[in-house]
Amino acid sequence: MKKLLSIIAVVGLTSTISMSANATSWATQAGPLVMCEKSNGEVEYIPTLLCRTSGGSFDKNLTNQW
């Protein structure tokens, strides 16, 4: 019983650490966040995929710009 509880505790701790690391990584499933300049002059801090699909541009050498 003690082994089972320790295994559950380790799994819970590991998943919590993993989820918190992903939350602070400045990246999303749509790519890293960048300052996107759209064709109308508007600038937004959005993922690279959304920037590309909206016709915007960004400096590829400057990801995680904040």
- The model's pLDDT over 43-63, given as tens digits with 9 standing for 90+, comes to 999 999 999 999 999 987 765
Question: Which residues have a Cβ under 8 Å from the Cβ of 46 and sit 6 or more positions away?
Answer: 33, 34, 36
Cβ neighbours, 10 Å, residue 35:
16
The pTM for the full model equals 0.51
**Is the model more confident about 36 or about 28?**
36
| Rg from Cα positions in the chain | 19
Of the given ranges (18-22, 40-44, 49-53), which has the lowest mean pLDDT? 18-22
pLDDT of res. 43:
92
